[in-house]
Structure formats: C-alpha cells, structure tokens
Amino acid sequence: MNIILLGPPGAGKGTQAEKLIKELDAVQISTGDIFRTNIKNNTPLGAKAKEYMNKGQLVPDELTIDLVWDALDKVEDGKSILLDGFPRNITQAEALDEGMQKRDNKIDKVININVPEDVIIERISGRRVNVSTGKVYHIKFNPPKVEGIDDETGEKLIQREDDTEAAVKERLDVYNKHTSVLIDYYNKKGILVTIDGAKTPEEVFDQIIKSLEK
C-alpha cells in the first residue's frame, strides 16, 4: 500500500511516518529530510535547497521531482512507499501520478492530517531534531530522556533553521497557497481521508491505521 502524508508544517507528518514505516514495513521518502541530509553533508543540492528552505519557500520542482524518482527507483519490489512532504503542489502531484504509472504503481491512500494554526505554532516552536537521522522530539510533548540529546544515538538535538517565526509564517502561506489544493485533487480521485491531527501522537496513529483498514 502506497501512502501520502499530507498536512501543514508541524502537522506531525514525520512523527506519524516513523510509526507507520514500522507498522507497514514501508519505505519512507521525506523530501524535507533528504534536503536536510544534503545540507548537512554540504552537497551542491544541499546548497541550492538551503536558500529556499531557510526562507520557508518551496525548493524548485525540477530539483525536487528528480530526487523523488531516484528515491522511488531504490525501493525494493513489493515494499510499501510512504511519502512525507511530497507532493506539495499540483505540478508535483501530476508528476507523481505519471512517475508511478511508469513504474506500474499507484498511490492508494492520501492521509490529510488536519491541525489548527495555534497548535502548529506550539509544535514547531518546541521541536528539536537529530539532523543525521531525522528523528523528531518536542520539548513538552515528546521530550528526550536527556535534554538536547537523541535517546537513540546520543547525538545532539537542534532546532531547525526554518523553524524561525518568519520562516514558519512563510511556510504556512506556501501551504495555504500551493499545497492545500491537493486536498481537493486527491478527494476527487476518491483516495483522500482526513484525520484529526490535534490529538496525541498515539490517537492520531490509531485514526490513520483505522482509515487504512477501510
């Protein structure tokens, strides 16, 4: 089963993806995580992506779409695919339809994680991440055992560079202008389910699992 996690910044896409890949034995493709790894490793792609990301803007489609093809081509046959942060506009959604078709594959479900703006701000301001692995914590809702340290690897946790007030405002604007139209796009295809993302991570996860069983 191939799934897209759709939702505004801070909705909990990464948090749910981490749980879902274990449950479904799926491969996660997170464009945001791929860009952040490239930035950390000082690659040319990272340098280009950083300019856009730190302002809260979308990285150009021509860079993003190619990167998703590369990731899709590496997925072993028979494994489920979980897309987090892609597609983010109609161009990317159409490219994905075409790309999946060419690979004799398709998207089965789109999970729209609905979260109000005040909750988003609280989540993003308390988020801490391990950039090496993409593991996400929250200082209040999901704190690490030792402050500032990843439980799993012992590496340092940091605040994302695009979690500043100005960048978050821009990310929300970009979501409202370019990404939220995908709710309608996938609803028309009959594969969209909307769930309440303002509950605890476990409750959100339960709703997702139930929606996949339908």
Nearest to 199 by CA among 32, 16, 4: 16
* 85 labelled binding-site residue: yes
Question: Does the annotation count 135 as an active-site position?
Answer: no
Which residue in 14, 56, 87, 197 binds Zn ion (CB under 5 A)? 14
Question: Does the annotation count 128 as an active-site position?
Answer: no
CB of 156 to Zn ion, least distance (A): 19
* 55 labelled binding-site residue: no
Nearest to 195 by CA among 183, 210, 207: 207
Per-residue contact string for residues 100-139; x = within reach of ligand AP5 by CB under 6 A: -----------------------x--xx--------xxx-
**What is the pairing mode between strands 80-84 and 109-114?**
unpaired
Q: Which does 153 bind (CB under 5 to 8 A by kind): ligand AP5, Zn ion, none?
A: none
Residue pair 32/171 in contact by the 8 Å Cβ criterion: no
Query: Which residue sits closest to ligand AP5, CB atoms considered?
Result: 32
CA–CA gap between residue 64 and residue 19 (Å, rounded): 25
Q: What is the SS3 assignment for 180?
A: coil
Judged by the rule CB under 5 A, the positions of this chain that interact with Zn ion are: 13-14
Instruction: Please give the positions annotated as active site.
Output: 13, 88, 127, 160, 171
